[in-house]
Amino acid sequence: MNQQQPPRLTSFYRSYLNHHRTREFVDLTARYYNENTLLRMTDAETTDTRRAAAMALGLLGSYRANAVLGKMLKDSDRSVRLLAEGSIKSVWTREGDEEQRQGLYCILRLIGRMQYGEAVHYANVFLDVFPFLIEARNQRAIALFAMKDFGNSIADSEIVLDMNPYHFGAAIGMGHAYLQLHNKERAVGCFQQALDINPNLESVRRRLEMLSVK
């Protein structure tokens, strides 16, 4: 009996592992697959196919992939979990239309330059117009934390998690903010929430272990 041939996507992924040609993987995947098909392939029995789907969604997927990638954070295969972690962070920045994404990128650039006050100001204006854009609010929380406005940073992060229950980054941010406010109990709860969402966060696990012995 002939063995069933793997999906093209799996072959593209194995070729990528050999040659590390990301553009080739993207071009071939986009030629043969749409997002709906990639989303379905995350349930494949074959580990390499799930790995390929997780990687492809990070490179080509929209915010629609958020929940699927969030569930893949608990896949039985470590590589799938790590690929899903990188990919879900990518799709968080793809919410909304082109204008909304450009606004988010502006906030990201300001934070990258450590212009936190400008980032908060721009995010305030932006969120007045588009209040439901989750990653813009998360980035404002990051900028507020950098400005030591821990209370408002926590408030933004809570809203982020309400809108996107897979946003382990917001839970981590809240944990650090509560530590700055000397509220160890709340910090531990937030770090545990982040681990519940994404069990692969070893630095968070170590932080929890350190807090448990203090």
Mean pLDDT value across the chain: 95
136 Cβ contact list (under 8 Å, min separation 6): 100, 103, 104, 107, 123, 126, 127, 130
Q: Taking residues 182-211, what's their average pLDDT?
A: 96
Assess whether 70 and 103 both reside in one domain. no
Q: What is the pLDDT of residues 133-180, one digit of tens each?
A: 999 999 999 999 999 999 999 999 999 999 999 999 999 999 999 999
Q: 114: left (phi > 0), else alpha (psi -120 to 50), else beta? A: left
What is the reported pLDDT for 9?
A: 97
Exposed/middle/buried for 169, CB within 10 Å: 0-12, 13-18, 19+? Answer: buried
Number of domains into which the chain is organized: 2
CATH number, domain of 14, equals: 1.25.10.10
Distances (CA, A) of 169 to 66, 187, 212: 13, 14, 21
Which of residues 92, 108, 128 is at a domain's end?
Answer: 92
Q: State pLDDT tens for residues 37-82.
A: 999 999 999 999 999 999 999 999 999 999 999 999 999 999 999 9
Which is nearest to 92 in space by CA: 70, 71, 72? 70
- Whether 75 is in a domain gets the answer yes
* pLDDT in the model for residue 1: 37
The model's pTM: 0.93
Q: Which two tokens stand for residue 30?
A: 């986009």
Q: What is the pLDDT of residue 3?
A: 58
Domain co-membership, 88 together with 19: yes
The proportion of the chain whose per-residue pLDDT surpasses 70, expressed as a percent, equals 98
Using DSSP's 3-state secondary structure scheme, residue 13 falls into: helix
pLDDT of residue 214: 62
User: What is the pLDDT averaged over residues 2-22?
Assistant: 89
Residue 2 maps to a domain: no
- Domain, as residue range, for 78: 8-92
The CA angle 53-92-138, to the nearest 5 degrees, is 155
Q: Hey, what are 165's tokens?
A: 């229950």
